[in-house]
Structure 1
């Protein structure tokens, strides 16, 4: 008969929900963590950064996943109900401007990117090399990548109303890979997923070194969200994600800049 106390054999579920960008990281770390901790299960659900914040705040997830700042409407709702969570940065990602490989343009300035995404420049001939109406493809505002892109590229201006808004990374990659006149944006971990080309911005490609050294200008914090009062298994998993020899090492292997440094 086993001498272990009954609770030692219990299976603990840690529900994660939110950003698809962070979910990709959690899939990698989570598999390793469950191998090392057979009594832990880590079910993952998407839904976007807004859902990550809401789920962590209302308790429908143990850990929220976010790749952008908290949406204002959820922040107001949380304040009204006196709800709070801890935001833990696990990595820095770059957000790449992507075009179809048939597009001859390889480099844009941040100012040119602003003018494209706010609708001031609407034809590729304004940027040289070839002509055609620019087809802007943007994420749904509820998805985390939208907020840091809008903040760092459009600034106080709005993303053009003529943009094709898609709900999901697969749809965005498909829209750009099938249209020589399209331009969109994705986190760098998704660059190998479709036939698209990442542009250099102000002379810098979104490589690991350029993001780490802050030469590439469009960057994003990937975060885990949890209540301070969460059970120990939640805090243990977050600590694992922050361990330089465990989660942070896997994050670096994925091409992301670890939050814990090197």
Structure 2
């Protein structure tokens, strides 16, 4: 009986050693940044945990600028960004020894949305710009009802804010009445309950959402207006399209590289479509 107890103790020690070894082989990957990509990153993290249980992928949002600063400061493995990094950010990264590596991981049509009760179905890019810089303030100025336009935007931490300011506003100042929201979800909720509301964001946040209508957008006056469908985004007929990015410090290695390769694989890209964005390849 005593011998059995000793054997049993030995087995516990061995099992304990196995458990310890297993724990030591666990690896964590951190992704910080874009709120536009938050749901997508969470879906990737959950699915990859089933593909490779030894790796835990931790996802936090806050905005692309938050993720970019985290990358520059060396506190994240992957920065998720809904806009390209600016030259000033790349220069700041370089000054801290960070080699910025850009990796497209999905395609998006940046959608312009209004309240579902609004009869306006389309705008030009210039009309959107003039609404957001405060030159157009009533829907009657763009063929709609006599109703004040209530303008919603993401806040300045958002990569979508930066992309929109550069590519739609052409770096002009925002109108005085713009209401800045901490997340795209909050922006969508406000537009859905505000008859004169208008907002913008990643197309996945607005698809099939009650109380919201996605507008067709024309590149110029007199040209056809297109909805941000997959076909129109891929063909570039929809004028406000963009890539969604991962950024790493140098070429990714080890588990980070394997995770990113999986994200860009057929399996990972299928999740892009499920969430409501568009995969890199048709």
State the TM-score, normalized to the length of structure 1.
0.91
Say whether the 8 Å CA contact 2:106–2:279 is kept in structure 1: yes
Say whether the 8 Å CA contact 1:115–1:121 is kept in structure 2: yes
Equivalent residue runs for 1:48-127 within 5 Å? 48-71=63-86, 74-127=89-142
1:170 and 1:241 mapped to 2: Cα distance? Answer: 24
Residues 1:40 and 2:55 aligned together:
yes
1:231 deviation in Å? 4.4
**2:85 counterpart SS class:** coil
CA offset digits 1:36-91 (Å, max 9, x no partner): 11111111111110111111222211111110122566445324324222110011
Residues 1:129 and 2:144 aligned together:
yes
1:9 deviation in Å? 6.5
Say whether the 8 Å CA contact 1:69–1:147 is kept in structure 2: no
2:279 to 222, 235, 258: 258
**1:20 counterpart SS class:** coil
CA offset digits 1:103-145 (Å, max 9, x no partner): 1101111121121112111111111231122111111121011
- Counterpart in the other structure of 1:239: 261
Residues 1:228 and 2:253 aligned together:
no
Alignment RMSD, CA only? 2.3
1:62 and 1:224 mapped to 2: Cα distance? Answer: 10
**2:276 counterpart SS class:** coil
Structure 1: any 5+ residue segments left out of the alignment?
none
Say whether the 8 Å CA contact 2:104–2:246 is kept in structure 1: yes
Say whether the 8 Å CA contact 2:34–2:159 is kept in structure 1: yes
1:230 and 1:180 mapped to 2: Cα distance? Answer: 47
Residues 1:196 and 2:217 aligned together:
no
- Counterpart in the other structure of 2:232: 210
- Counterpart in the other structure of 2:202: 187
State the TM-score, normalized to the length of structure 2.
0.85
Structure 2: any 5+ residue segments left out of the alignment?
1-13, 219-224
How many correspondences in the alignment? 260
1:194 and 1:26 mapped to 2: Cα distance? Answer: 24
Say whether the 8 Å CA contact 1:57–1:84 is kept in structure 2: no
2:276 and 2:60 mapped to 1: Cα distance? Answer: 23
